């Protein structure tokens, strides 16, 4: 199994986990702190999906080497893939927003729950971000579309490549 295929499978798995936590676990538990785990799994799903396209394109030398950091992957994706495949900029914005929320949560020393909303505060107790189930549902819906779009792009590119190889060799491999 190729690296991009492994990443696609992992993206699908993480998205499934996030969706299950949001649709099944959260309504039973009703703990907004669970939404952070949903957000983390959704972010990992989107990152793995983005990385799968980068690795696929890297195999054809259309993407230069990139470091294993979010910033490096986003830069490579933004400059080499987003425009080429006409991806909606809202996906990049969503990933950046989710990354910021996750980073704020990791840095935060104070968080509290009020009215089914998790508030993430700075060290001087100012609310930086709030996380609600409705907001996370929107994020997960957009993540599903993004991951489906990336999978479709890779599938179409693979079919195109297979057609070219078949045409050059006059037979199926």
Q: Rounded mean pLDDT of 56-75? A: 95
CATH number at residue 121: 1.20.120.330
What H or E segment, with its residue span, contains residue 119? Answer: strand 117-121
- Give the whole-angstrom CA distance, residue 20 versus residue 41: 11
What's the pLDDT at 116? 87
Q: Rounded mean pLDDT of 12-39? A: 96
Q: Rounded mean pLDDT of 100-127? A: 88
Query: Model confidence at 169, in pLDDT bands (50, 70, 90)?
Result: low
Question: What pTM, to 2 d.p., does this model score?
Answer: 0.90
- Give the whole-angstrom CA distance, residue 74 versus residue 97: 13
Q: Rounded mean pLDDT of 126-143? A: 93
Q: How far does CA 131 lie from the centroid of its chain?
A: 18
Domain that holds residue 60: 3-169
Establish how many alpha carbons lie within 13 A of residue 84's alpha carbon, considering only the half-sphere containing its beta carbon: 15
Contacts with 59 (C-beta within 8 Å, 6 or more apart), sequence order: 2, 4
According to DSSP, residue 116 is labeled: T
Mean pLDDT, the chain, as a whole number? Answer: 92
Least confident segment among 62-71, 77-86, 154-163: 154-163
Query: Model confidence at 141, in pLDDT bands (50, 70, 90)?
Result: very high
What's the pLDDT at 166? 77
What does each C-alpha distance from 163 to 84, 128, 135, 172 come to in angstroms?
20, 51, 42, 9
According to DSSP, residue 109 is labeled: S
Q: Is the pLDDT of residue 158 over 80?
A: yes
Q: How far does CA 103 lie from the centroid of its chain?
A: 15
How many domains does one find in the chain?
A: 1
Q: Is the pLDDT of residue 157 over 70?
A: yes
What's the pLDDT at 171? 57
């Amino acid at each position: 199994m190729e690296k991009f295929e492994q990443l696609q499978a992992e993206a699908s798995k993480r998205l499934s986990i996030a969706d299950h936590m949001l649709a099944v676990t959260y309504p039973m538990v009703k703990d907004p702190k669970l939404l952070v785990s949903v957000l983390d799994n959704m972010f990992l799903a989107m990152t793995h999906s983005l990385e799968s396209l980068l690795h696929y394109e890297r195999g054809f030398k259309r993407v230069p080497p990139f470091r294993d950091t979010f910033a490096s992957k986003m830069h490579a994706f933004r400059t080499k893939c987003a425009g080429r495949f006409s991806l909606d900029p809202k996906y990049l914005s969503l990933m950046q927003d989710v990354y910021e929320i996750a980073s704020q949560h990791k840095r935060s020393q104070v968080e509290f729950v009020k009215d089914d909303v998790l508030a993430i505060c700075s060290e001087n107790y100012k609310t930086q971000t709030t996380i609600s189930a409705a907001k996370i549902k929107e994020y997960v819906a957009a993540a599903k579309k993004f991951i489906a779009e990336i999978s479709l792009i890779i599938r179409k590119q693979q079919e195109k490549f297979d057609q070219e190889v078949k045409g050059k060799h006059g037979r199926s491999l």
